Amino acid sequence: MSLAQFFEGKNIFITGGTGFMGKLLIEKLLRSCPGIGKIYVLLRSKRGRNVEERLKQLLDGEVFDKIRENNPDALDKIIGIKGNVTELNLGLSDSDRQLLVDNVNIIYHSAASVRFDDFLDKSIMINIRGTREIAQLALDLKNPTILVHVSTAYCNGDRYEVDEKLYPPHGDWRDAILSAETCDKELLHIMTEKYIYPHVNTYTFAKGLAEHVVNDMCKGKIQAIITRPSVVINTLDEPLAGWNDNLNGPIGLMIAGGKGILRLSIGRYDNTLNYIPADVAIKGIILATYDNFIKNNSGDVEIYNITQRIIKCSHGQFIDEANKMNLISPVPNIVWYPRNFVTTCYYNYYLQVIFFHLLPAIFWDILLKLFKKKPMVVKLQRKIYTANYILGPFSLPNYTFKNNKMIEMQENLVKTNPDFGYPAELSKECLFNYLIMSGKGVIKYVLKESMDPTGETERKRLQRFKIADIIWRTFIFSFAWWLFFIQFNTVQCITNGIYNYFQNL
């Protein structure tokens, strides 16, 4: 039985369908498994849009262009279901819940709060209690096939070597839910750092406990798996090369560096990165579904680390390639000359943030005020600083993720399912082309900016800011020299100190 045959006639329920991974999952299932049944997508009203409007907005996205061109009727299989993972019973009406119980065979739970700095109660309600409600729905299905929970490779952030197994929890998920439901929010916020220890943020803490929710509720009762993608970035090939719909993650920081907003990051130059293109991660998740089903295991909840090394380079190499890209193919509307570095020293980071992030941002906001426009650069720099500070603990250690199941799937299942084949490891040249493609993807699909086809406009602007950057750096270093070596007579003080020391011997 091929993978397409496995999905034939099966109805799917997906949470997080409007997110980056959710959109690609829906698109890949529709395009590569034409015989699939209906795909029910959990949607909530948001920003004044009801479920029907949000479903239309989802289907109008460019990610479904291939399906619209080749098989437009397939989009009719997508049905919006009103609900919310933060609510009890997923916020489903009685009729909608019964519809899902009667018809759904496979559940993909990818809805999550991915913010590292979320308040603890919010992270628990979405990532832990929401998973509990999904697991309960899976147990109630009349004809269940499998539950697929999308976790993260970093849910055991206190371990630098992570195998494809469940590790002991740092707390009890039942107590965590009870705390979020009943505790005073301010008290819970004060206790957060101690409560989540040894995790460094609420996201990895909650995702780690969510895995135990799936294991405790589903083991021996329903077939279930946990998939752990690493850092997911722009698509490599399909359905659109370089596609993305958000500024989260390293590609967003790369674009910030290209615009001259980001100058320095926390991280270790020689650390090997664990980035995976989104379309490769989606293939891995779908293959894991099929692999686990055909194995028909004894009821244990299997775990798959979706960490295939398509992109193999160090943190420093990634930044070097990004810097090269920003000079060869400059991004539009830069605000300063792009020059990005990585450091392990927080003191060096803070010092450079003041002179090369904060002060230029204040300068730009003053200009914006003079031209009667809304100042925004300091606010943007604050977000970048927060992102760097939060991501620092993950950029400094060198994580190793074992992925034997992924390698085995690649060797065995892909032979009979070529549409789910994995690309080879990217060469240095291919990596550089991929970064250019990803940068253009963010500019086109996320920032909605247009680029000069010849690139001449961007290159001229780049040269002007290069001169400005040289002048600014010269001023900063000259001021530092004047302050420490002339104004404070530093050299003379050091000389006198050495002289007095030897005089007293």
Say what the pLDDT of residue 63 is: 92
Tokens (6 digits) for 323 = 């810097």
In a 3-state reduction of DSSP, which class is residue 244? coil
Peptide bond into 229 cis (omega under 30): no
Q: What is the dihedral of CA 494, 497, 502, 505, to 10 degrees?
A: -150
H or E stretch covering 160: none
User: Which residue in 59, 110, 365 sits closest to 228, CA to CA?
Assistant: 110
Please report the sign of the dihedral spanned by the C-alpha atoms of residue 465, residue 471, residue 474, residue 477: negative
Please report the sign of the dihedral spanned by the C-alpha atoms of residue 81, residue 207, residue 404, residue 430: positive
In a 3-state reduction of DSSP, which class is residue 223? coil
pLDDT bin (cut points 50, 70, 90) of residue 178 is: very high
Mean pLDDT of all residues in 20-35: 92
CB 266 within 8 Å of CB 388: yes
Q: Which residues pair with 15 in a beta bridge?
A: 109
User: Which residue in 117, 145, 220, 132 sits closest to 181, CA to CA?
Assistant: 132
DSSP state, 355?
I
Mean pLDDT of all residues in 163-169: 92
CB 268 within 8 Å of CB 315: yes
Say what the pLDDT of residue 327 is: 79
Residue type at 369? K
**Beta carbons within 10 angstroms of residue 379's beta carbon:** 11
pLDDT at 475 over 70: yes
In a 3-state reduction of DSSP, which class is residue 361? helix
- Please return the burial class of 461, using the count of CB atoms within 10 Å of its CB with bins 0-12, 13-18 and 19+: middle
pLDDT bin (cut points 50, 70, 90) of residue 501 is: very low
Share of the chain above pLDDT 90, in %: 32
Top-ranked range on mean pLDDT: pick from 148-152, 349-353, 490-494:
148-152
The number of angstroms, rounded, from the C-alpha of 412 to the middle of its chain's C-alpha atoms is: 29
CB 97 within 8 Å of CB 89: yes
pLDDT at 424 over 80: no
Q: In the predicted model, what is the mean pLDDT of the chain?
A: 85
Please report the sign of the dihedral spanned by the C-alpha atoms of residue 148, residue 150, residue 154, residue 158: negative
Say what the pLDDT of residue 140 is: 94
pTM: 0.87
pLDDT digits (tens, 9 = 90+) for 265-318: 888 888 877 888 999 999 999 999 998 888 876 688 999 999 876 777 777 788
pLDDT at 487 over 70: no
Mean pLDDT of all residues in 202-230: 93
| Interatomic CA distance for residues 117 and 202, integer angstroms | 7
Alpha-carbon distance values, 20 to 16, 153, 278 (Å): 8, 17, 8
Tokens (6 digits) for 84 = 């919310």
Say what the pLDDT of residue 82 is: 93
pLDDT bin (cut points 50, 70, 90) of residue 148 is: very high
Task: Say which residue, 223 or 457, is predicted with more confidence.
Answer: 223
Alpha-carbon distance values, 475 to 272, 341, 359, 470, 481 (Å): 36, 20, 13, 9, 10
| Helix residue spans in 329-358 (DSSP H) | 346-353
| Interatomic CA distance for residues 25 and 229, integer angstroms | 13
Mean pLDDT of all residues in 11-36: 93
Tokens (6 digits) for 73 = 């009727």
Tokens (6 digits) for 316 = 């420093």
pLDDT at 453 over 60: yes
The DSSP string of 260-288 is TS--EEES-TTPBP-EEEHHHHHHHHHHH
